[in-house]
């Protein structure tokens, strides 16, 4: 029997990277998984893969810039499966920008998804969880939110700092409703978004992608960057009954880059 048997989980940004790994791990542990992503092609492709492997899944196209779509995601998930036990707030955006390159449009784009969209997804899911007597919320933050200097840009770091703060306040606010709220703070993680940021650093630095990646890995005490599965392993624990007394925490998965 899987660790998430008879649970219904929503994973945002599930089409690729960390979200895809989390959704796949949850399905393997027995959860019914609702895949939310703005990219229909990627979302439907993963839904088919998981279903073909025996999992119960659904894909719901969701743009976290649109609060009505967030509410629709939560309502449709509850209607289709009768409950909502786990929310993984993973969807996020960023790009490589210097301090003086960040524009108002960049700021709004990043914060609308990474912090505003995340909060209202958490709020909408928590209403359902409160009614049914509890649940688990896992927010994917970043060590950028704790001041990691090699972040993609300062706006992204600010949005992830907001996620860490909202995790703590959310955990405090929802504790009496038996809702655990935790966040995971990945370090350097080899996702599609990671390689997009690397291409931006290549353009701005004049160095090759291999040189930049080698320097990043060399800066990590354990000398290796994350694979998405490293994040998904912790996300399973935080969604399971094994973490029933864990709430309000921000867990680093970064090979030893940060210590708080």
Active site residue ranges? 156
The closest alpha carbon to 257, from 220, 215, 214, belongs to 220
CA dihedral angle for residue 43, residue 49, residue 19, residue 86, rounded to 10 degrees: 100
The closest alpha carbon to 247, from 185, 180, 184, belongs to 180
Residue pair 220/256 in contact by the 8 Å Cβ criterion: yes
Residue pair 230/164 in contact by the 8 Å Cβ criterion: no
DSSP-derived letter for residue 245 is: T
């Amino acid at each position: 029997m899987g660790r998430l048997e008879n649970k219904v989980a929503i994973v945002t940004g599930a089409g690729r990277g960390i979200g895809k790994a989390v959704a796949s791990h949850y399905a393997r542990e027995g959860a019914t998984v609702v895949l939310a992503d703005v990219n229909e092609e990627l979302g439907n492709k993963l839904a088919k893969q998981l279903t073909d492997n025996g999992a119960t899944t659904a894909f719901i196209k969701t743009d976290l810039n649109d609060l009505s779509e967030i509410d629709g995601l939560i309502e449709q998930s509850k209607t289709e499966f009768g409950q909502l036990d786990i929310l993984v707030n993973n969807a996020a955006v960023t790009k490589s920008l210097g301090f003086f390159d960040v524009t108002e449009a960049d700021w709004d784009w990043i914060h609308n998804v990474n912090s505003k969209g995340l909060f209202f997804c958490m709020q909408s899911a928590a209403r359902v969880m409160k009614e049914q007597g509890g649940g688990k919320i896992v927010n994917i933050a970043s060590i950028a939110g704790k001041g990691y200097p090699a972040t993609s840009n300062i706006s992204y770091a600010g949005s992830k700092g907001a996620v860490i703060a909202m995790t703590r306040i959310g955990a405090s606010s929802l504790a009496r409703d038996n809702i655990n709220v935790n966040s995971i703070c990945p370090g350097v993680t080899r996702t599609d978004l990671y390689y997009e940021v690397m291409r931006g650093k290549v353009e701005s630095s004049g160095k090759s992608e291999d040189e930049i990646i080698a320097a990043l890995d060399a800066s990590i005490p354990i000398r290796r960057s994350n694979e998405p599965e490293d994040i998904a392993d912790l996300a399973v624990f935080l969604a399971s009954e094994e973490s029933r007394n864990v709430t309000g925490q921000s867990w680093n998965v970064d090979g030893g880059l940060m210590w708080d």
